[in-house]
């Protein structure tokens, strides 16, 4: 292996070694329409599956009381496919470009469930 090859490999190793540190410095945030519109279908599906995993965990650990997300997935969202949920969210942001700062979870709970109606502020039943 020549000098150029060794330098290239060392550069790659250095880059890969620093990447996790750089990513770990990012602050956590709620996805909104801006983030949603920038990810692939697989990223969107992963987001939906992640919410489903959270709901499954909440139901298993809840001791009989399920938070809003768990209730929504157990009742309304359980009747929809991941594809259908993605279509609803995509459609919301396309039809409401002024609401791109609305969180994806809010759109899902308000548009795909009866647990948190679109008229409610802050989710939950009144």
Tens of each residue's pLDDT in the chain, 126 residues: 565 555 555 554 545 555 555 555 567 778 899 999 999 999 999 998 888 887 777 777 766 666 666 777 777 777 889 999 999 999 999 999 999 999 998 898 888 877 666 655 544 443
Per the structure, the count of domains in the chain is 1
The pLDDT, as a whole number, for residue 57 is 78
In a domain, 115, yes or no: yes
In a domain, 6, yes or no: no
Domain enclosing residue 110, as ranges: 31-126
Whole-prediction pTM? 0.66
| C-alpha span between 125 and 3 (Å, rounded) | 66
Nearest-5° Cα angle at 95, 90 to 101 = 70
């Amino acid at each position: 292996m020549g000098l150029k090859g060794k330098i290239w490999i060392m550069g790659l190793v250095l880059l890969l070694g620093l990447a996790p540190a750089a990513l770990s410095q990012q602050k956590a945030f709620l996805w909104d329409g801006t983030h949603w519109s920038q990810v692939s279908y697989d990223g969107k599906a992963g987001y939906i599956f992640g919410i489903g995993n959270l709901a499954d965990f909440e139901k298993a650990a809840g001791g009989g009381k399920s938070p809003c997300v768990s209730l929504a997935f157990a009742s309304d969202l359980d009747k929809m496919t991941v594809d259908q949920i993605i279509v609803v969210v995509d459609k919301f942001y396309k039809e409401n470009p002024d609401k791109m700062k609305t969180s994806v979870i809010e759109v899902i709970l308000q548009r795909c469930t009866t647990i948190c109606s679109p008229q409610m502020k802050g989710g939950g039943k009144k």
